[in-house]
Amino acid sequence: MRSLLTDMLLQRLSAHTQGPLHRRLYDCIRLAILEGVIGAGSRLPPTRDLAGALSLSRNTVSTAYEQLLAEGYTFTRAGSGTFVTDHMPDGAMAPVNEQPPASRRLAENEFSQRGAHLLAKTGASPHQWGAFMPGVPDVSNFPHGLWRRIHSRLIRRIKPDYLTYSRMGGSPDLQQALVDYLRVARSVNCEAQQIIITEGTHQAVDLLAKMLCNPGDRAWIEEPCYWGLRNVLTVNSVEVVPVTVDNQGISLPDVPAEGDAPRLICVTPSHQYPTGAVMSLTRRQRLLALAQECGAWVVEDDYDSEFRYSGNPIPALQSLTPQAPVIYIGTFSKTLYPGLRISYMVLPLALAEQMRVAHAELYRGGHWITQLVLAQFIAEGHYASHIRRMRLLYGKRRTVLSRLILQHLGEDALRDDSNAGLHLVMSLPEEVDDERLARDAGRQGIYVRPLSTYYLTSERKKGLLLGYACVDEAAIEPAFSVLMACLARQTGAGAF
Ligand SMILES: Cc1ncc(COP(=O)(O)O)c(C=O)c1O
């Protein structure tokens, strides 16, 4: 029986020539598990099948399987076979002693300095679902039926254009649907030609960094800040300068001297990521004035503002004054699902045309059909009603989680009173090691992010980001109890 897995194991076995055969097979399977090629929960092929496919004795395969089982990479279920575990054993990421089976060994400076820096500062998690993964919407509620119906209707009258590279910064239908939606939902006034559809906010920022910044130019970023923004800027050789955030949002310094002026000022005014602060009107006005004065562009990342559970929506910074030097970025990752990879930028008219050309040159753009379906989905009102439905659901989940935090740790642990978004910050005392706590929780199947890792300077606050949007209401309390048990192991009893 040949499969992609057995083909890969055959290739790797032939390149890995040192040591007994069962040990080499063990190395290859272990590496495939660590790389995620064999995912958590997947069943390994039965020993007889794998032995046949690799032309090995069944004994060799059984010995390799036994070693993986003994070290905690797999578990067995009576009568069902051998499965890859969810939780990697301690030290699993340690390098194997033997020569790696890869055919080429990497030189010390194989990666560019930018690349090496990126690899040293990664933030993307292999876990993208479950309690309490921050920023993940409840994708299990996506209205596939509606989507499928629009899609079927569309491809009945398909045109060659739909299957070619996209031009003009994306589908004009989607651009127009966004113009109408943004005017009502976010007070953003723009024309279709100002909109570029991008594959995620990351691509939007990548384009801005490449087109508006020279290597060494500065971007002011919020402190703390979303790690993804930081990484995309840094990999483009933009120097990121952290600017402290308080409960009114970014706390701007005086106008800098000419040589120190930023090219970009990146902010999350409606719901600061990750603290939840809403930028005050005074700060907004000052930000726009400062940007004008030093010739900077303000990049407004409006990633989850659709989810406010009380009070009025907070209008976008872009809408504050006509001709504001603001590049507005929105995403469907939180309102629909992250894997859709559709976001958009609203550019000032002066930039729009050349940026559309650059976008087509750099990324070519595609997914025209998906963009058309999305345009219809918005125009027919399904988008707004999906958001309304999810807002109700997430609001209840947030209430449950807030109550638990207050109940177990008191008011000091819950400083985020924005009542918005998809996550909460649970503050912790300085002496708690939030990174260790997050690792410990991860081993118990609870995924959280340590607040301290969102800071660049030493003024790091301790806490955990807890996402509630993708956790059923009934599952919140049991998951929270596991987290509290991890915290108790670190602090003795209560945290405060
Ligand atoms: C603050 C913030 N901005 C942007 C994004 C990413 O958005 P996209 O999926 O559109 O790249 C995230 C993702 O978690 C985020 O937290």
Q: Is the CB of 231 under 6 A from ligand 1?
A: no
- How much is the mean pLDDT over the chain? 93
- Best of 205, 222, 279, 331 for a ligand 1 pocket test (most atoms within 8 Å of beta carbon): 331
Domain extents in the chain: 4-105, 158-381, 385-491
Share of the chain above pLDDT 70, in %: 96
Architecture of domain 385-491: Alpha-Beta Complex (3.90)
Tell whether the model's pLDDT for residue 446 goes beyond 90: yes
pLDDT digits (tens, 9 = 90+) for 68-77: 998 889 998 8
Contacts of 298 (CB under 8 A, 6+ apart): 264, 265, 266, 267, 287, 288, 291, 317, 324, 325, 326, 327
Which ligand 1 atom is the nearest neighbour of the CA of 338?
Answer: 9
What is the per-residue burial (b if ≥16 Cβ within 10 Å, else e) of 393-409? bbbebbebbbebbeebb
The pLDDT value recorded for residue 36 is 83
Q: How confident is the model over 360-377, as pLDDT tens digits?
A: 999 999 999 999 999 999
C-alpha distances (whole Å) from 375 to each of 51, 170, 171, 184, 369 are 51, 11, 9, 16, 10
- Is 338 near ligand 1, meaning CB less than 6 Å away? yes
Nearest-atom number in ligand 1 for the CA of 202 is 11
Q: What is the pLDDT averaged over residues 220-226?
A: 98
pLDDT digits (tens, 9 = 90+) for 308-325: 999 988 999 999 998 899
Could you identify the atom of ligand 1 that is nearest to the CA of residue 273? 1
CATH topology of domain 158-381: Aspartate Aminotransferase; domain 2 (3.40.640)
Phi, psi dihedrals of residue 280, rounded to the nearest 5°: -70, 165
- Taking the alpha carbons at both ends of the chain, their separation in whole angstroms is 58
Question: Given pLDDT bands bounded at 50, 70 and 90, which one contains residue 294?
Answer: very high
Ligand 1 in reach of 201 Cβ (< 6 A): yes
Residue 431: what pLDDT?
A: 93
* Ligand 1 site, residue 82, Cβ cutoff 6 A: no
Per-residue pLDDT of 416-434, as tens digits, reads 888 999 999 999 999 999 9
Task: Specify whether the CB–CB gap between 342 and 197 falls below 8 A.
Answer: yes
Using 50, 70 and 90 to split pLDDT, how confident is the model at 326?
very high
Ligand 1 neighbour 343 (Cβ under 6 A)? yes
Q: Is pLDDT of 106 > 90?
A: no
pLDDT at 93 over 70: no
Give yes or no for residue 6 having a pLDDT over 80: yes
pLDDT in tens, 191-209: 999 999 999 999 999 999 9
pLDDT at 239: 98
Are both 158-381 and 385-491 of the same fold? no
Q: What percent of the chain has pLDDT over 90?
A: 80
**pLDDT over 60 at 267, yes or no:** yes
- Nearest atom of ligand 1 to the alpha carbon of 331: 10
Domain 4-105 architecture: Orthogonal Bundle (1.10)
